[in-house]
């Protein structure tokens, strides 16, 4: 089947956060949703669910849990039990819940998706960070710095972004093993946010859930997943945590009590269809995103003052625009974006030290991407 990611779908004037925040003359390539319609089987499942006409409180069904159990087995060879699953309407909630559930400080590496820093703050947890290293070979962990930071902090929870938003790395086994080793050394729970796990663009790599590293890693893990990024249904609010350790799972559930709402029935219907019937759509999407990634990487490589490392995973490009701004007389990347009429995410939101960076969401039509790149690369102050 041929899937169409090129025909325009008007999102201006709808309920879209991405398209509603800025004026009509701004191209929005910021918040992480894609401009594509959901896969046809998802839309058909939603239509069937709407036809039923009754939308009472939902409870997760056996079919829903089985869809996840089968999906993670099929995609990663990960064997999990249905009872390890905890359903939530979103993973930002889950990041906050895990910070509430695990007593003690929180450790993470920056730059990182902003809720990794706001969730510990919301729960009044001390946050310890180390910076990822921007090396010639790409973004790398600074494990020595992580070890030093963990040895002097009272961290009990490692928030891991795997694959990583915004730097686009698909972590290798060696890196995950080192994280597992440090987690064991300092007795940490590892909450591995794997929301982007099915968006591996570099075909040399396969996603491996952190919890698959071994029994010790599994016992100290909370794995967060959702169909929202991959199948472009973040507005439908369905996500899950996999928590093999029963004691940890009940602490997580207790932290949710009275705060996290029931799973919505529309999201449930969409999730089953996404996990069971959309492999060919996903393969086509990944091909399309690979083409978009190449377009961005080539444009950045051809532009004086811009720099990025290849995107291994996600539909997000993390671009250092500091030198371009200095060359062209922009005060900062925000001024460059404003002058270009393109909305990107500011690097500052991902780390105070990343004010020179922008995050560009290339989950859009290629024509939109070409237009945005032409505006960005052509603009002068
Ligand atoms: C790493 C990561 N976690 C969580 C989310 C959002 O999760 P949700 O929409 O389920 O709250 C995002 C969205 O971009 C993300 O990149």
CATH number of the structural domain spanning residue 291: 3.90.1150.10
**Residue 249 sits in the same domain as residue 299:** no
With bands split at pLDDT 50, 70 and 90, how would you rate the model's confidence at 375? very high
From 277, 302, 325, the end of a domain falls on 277
C-alpha to C-alpha distances, 195 to 49, 80, 167, 231, nearest whole angstrom: 25, 17, 14, 11
Q: Best mutation site among 34, 90, 91 for ligand 1, i.e. most ligand atoms within 8 A of its Cβ?
A: 91
174, 132: one domain: yes
With the C-alpha atoms ordered 7, 13, 15, 18, is the resulting torsion angle positive or negative?
A: positive
Is 188 within the bounds of a domain?
yes
- Of 231, 189, 235, the closest CA to residue 210 belongs to 189
Taking residues 169-192, report their average pLDDT: 98
Condensed to tens digits (0 to 9), the pLDDT of residues 317-367 reads 999 999 999 999 999 999 999 999 999 999 999 999 999 999 999 999 999
Cα-Cα end-to-end distance for the chain: 46
Give yes or no: residues 298 and 160 share one domain: no
In whole angstroms, give the CA distance from residue 323 to residue 276: 46
Query: If you average pLDDT over residues 226-245, what whole number do you get?
Result: 98
Position 362 in a domain: yes
Statement to judge: residues 167 and 313 lie in one domain: no
Q: Domain end: 277, 311, 326, which one?
A: 277
pLDDT score, position 204: 97
Residues 344 and 255 in one domain: no
Q: What is the mean pLDDT of the chain?
A: 97
Q: Ligand 1, residues 119, 195, 228, 359: which to mutate, most atoms within 8 A of Cβ?
A: 195
146 and 253 belong to one structural domain: yes
Distance between CA 151 and CA 130 in Å, rounded?
Answer: 13
Is residue 293 in a domain? Answer: yes
Please determine, for residue 381, whether its predicted confidence score (pLDDT) is greater than 90: no
The label of the residue with tokens 């052509």 reads 378
Q: Are 134 and 215 members of one domain?
A: yes
208 and 293 both lie in a single domain:
no
Task: Supply the Cα-derived Rg of the chain in whole angstroms.
Answer: 21
> Of 222, 248, 277, which residue sits at a domain end?
277
* Ligand 1 lined by 98 (C-beta under 6 Å): no
Q: Would the CB of 88 count as within 6 Å of ligand 1?
A: no
User: What is this structure's pTM?
Assistant: 0.98
Tell me how far apart the alpha carbons of residues 292 and 47 are, in angstroms, rounded to a whole number.
31
Nearest to 362 by CA among 113, 34, 5, 111: 34
What is residue 380's predicted lDDT score, i.e. its pLDDT?
83
* Same domain, yes or no: 48 and 69: yes
Q: Is residue 229 part of a domain?
A: yes
HSE of 110, CA atoms in CB hemisphere, 13 A:
22
Atom of ligand 1 nearest to the CA of 161: 1
Q: pLDDT band at residue 56, thresholds of 50, 70 and 90? A: very high
* CB-based contacts of 23, cutoff 8 Å, min separation 6: none
What interhelical angle do 265-277 and 40-52 show, nearest 10? 150
Query: The tokens of 62 are what?
Result: 């056996």
In this predicted structure, what is the pLDDT of residue 140?
98
Please report, for residues 27, 92, 344, 365, 371, the alpha-carbon distance to residue 35 in angstroms, rounded to integers and kept in the order given. 12, 21, 15, 7, 15
Grouping H, G, I as helix, E, B as strand and the rest as coil, residue 237 is coil
Q: Atom 13 of ligand 1 has which residue's CA nearest to it?
A: 32
- Residue 379: the pLDDT is 84
Helix (H, G, I), strand (E, B) or coil at 161: strand
Work out the average pLDDT over 91-116.
Answer: 98
Residue 81 reports pLDDT greater than 90: yes
Residue 273 shares a structural domain with residue 195: yes
Phi-psi region of 370 (alpha: psi -120 to 50; beta: other; left: phi over 0): alpha
pLDDT > 90? residue 198:
yes
- The confidence score (pLDDT) of residue 20 equals 95
Residue 118 in this model has a pLDDT that exceeds 90: yes
CB-ligand 1 contact for 195 (6 Å cutoff): yes
Quick one: which atom of ligand 1 is closest to the CA of 89? 10
How much distance in Å is there from the Cα of 18 to the middle of ligand 1?
A: 14
CA distance 186 to 148: 11
Residue 1 has a pLDDT of: 82
Residue 290, domain extent: 17-31+279-378
What is the tally of structural domains in the chain? 2
Residue 305 is classified by DSSP as T
Q: What is the CATH number of the domain that holds 60?
A: 3.40.640.10
Same domain, 207 and 255: yes
Establish if 271 belongs to a structural domain: yes
Over range 180-209, report the average pLDDT: 98
pLDDT in tens, 292-316: 999 999 999 999 999 999 999 999 9
CA 182 to CA 149: how far, in whole Å? 11
Q: Which atom of ligand 1 is nearest to the CA of 94?
A: 11
Find out whether the beta carbon of 255 lies less than 6 Å from any atom of ligand 1.
no
Residue 230 beta carbon below 6 angstroms from any ligand 1 atom = no
Q: Which of 208, 198, 138, 153 is nearest to 176 (CA)?
A: 208
Report which protein residue has its CA nearest ligand 1's atom 16: 165
Q: What percent of the chain has pLDDT over 90?
A: 98
- How far, in Å, CA of 102 to CA of 88, rounded? 18
Distance from residue 153's CA to the centre of ligand 1 (Å): 27
Is 2 part of any domain?
A: no
Q: 11 lies in a domain?
A: no
Burial of 214 (0-12, 13-18, 19+ CB in 10 A): exposed
Same domain, 242 and 112: yes
What integer pLDDT is reported at residue 103 of this predicted model? 97
Average of pLDDT values for 233-248? 98
Q: How confident is the model at residue 178 (pLDDT cuts 50, 70, 90)?
A: very high
Query: Per-residue pLDDT tens for 119-161?
Result: 999 999 999 999 999 999 999 999 999 999 999 999 999 999 9
Q: Cα separation of 106 and 102, whole Å? A: 9
Nearest-5° Cα angle at 194, 193 to 196: 125
> Of ligand 1's atoms, which has the minimum distance to the CA of residue 237?
10
DSSP H helical segments within the chain, as ranges?
Answer: 17-20, 40-52, 62-76, 91-101, 115-122, 143-152, 173-185, 215-219, 246-256, 265-277, 279-301, 322-328, 333-340, 366-378
């Amino acid at each position: 089947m041929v899937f169409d990611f090129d025909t325009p779908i008007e999102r201006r004037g709808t309920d879209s956060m991405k398209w509603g925040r800025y004026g009509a003359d701004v191209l929005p390539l910021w918040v992480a949703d894609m401009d594509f319609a959901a896969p046809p089987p998802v839309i058909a499942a939603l239509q069937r669910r709407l036809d039923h006409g009754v939308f009472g409180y939902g409870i997760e069904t056996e079919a829903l849990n089985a869809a996840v159990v089968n999906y993670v087995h099929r995609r990663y060879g990960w064997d999990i039990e249905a009872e390890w699953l905890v359903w939530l309407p979103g993973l930002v909630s889950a990041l906050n819940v895990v910070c509430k559930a695990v007593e003690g400080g929180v450790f993470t590496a920056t730059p990182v998706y902003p809720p990794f820093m706001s969730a510990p703050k919301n729960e009044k947890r001390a946050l310890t960070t180390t910076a990822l290293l921007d090396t010639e070979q790409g973004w790398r962990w600074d494990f020595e710095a992580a070890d030093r930071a963990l040895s002097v902090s009272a961290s009990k929870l490692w928030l891991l972004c795997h694959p990583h938003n915004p730097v686009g790395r698909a972590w290798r086994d060696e890196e995950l093993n080192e994280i597992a080793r440090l987690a064991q050394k300092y007795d940490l729970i590892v909450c591995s946010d794997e929301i982007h796990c099915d968006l591996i663009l570099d075909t040399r790599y396969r996603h491996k859930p952190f919890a698959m590293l071994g029994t010790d890693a599994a016992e100290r893990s909370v794995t967060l997943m959702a169909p929202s990024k991959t199948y472009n249904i973040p507005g439908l609010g369905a996500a899950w945590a996999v928590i093999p350790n029963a004691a940890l799972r009940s602490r997580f559930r207790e932290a949710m009590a009275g705060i996290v709402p029931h799973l919505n029935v529309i999201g449930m219907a969409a999730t089953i269809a996404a996990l069971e019937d959309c492999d060919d759509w996903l393969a086509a999407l990944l091909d399309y995103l690979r083409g978009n990634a190449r377009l961005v990487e080539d444009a950045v490589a051809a532009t004086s003052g811009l720099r990025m490392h290849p995107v291994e995973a996600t539909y997000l490009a993390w671009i250092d625009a500091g030198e371009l701004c200095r060359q062209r007389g922009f005060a900062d990347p925000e001024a460059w974006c404003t002058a270009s009429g393109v909305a990107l995410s500011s690097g500052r939101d991902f780390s105070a030290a990343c004010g020179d960076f922008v995050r560009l969401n290339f989950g859009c039509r290629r024509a939109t991407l070409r237009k945005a790149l032409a505006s960005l690369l052509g603009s002068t102050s």
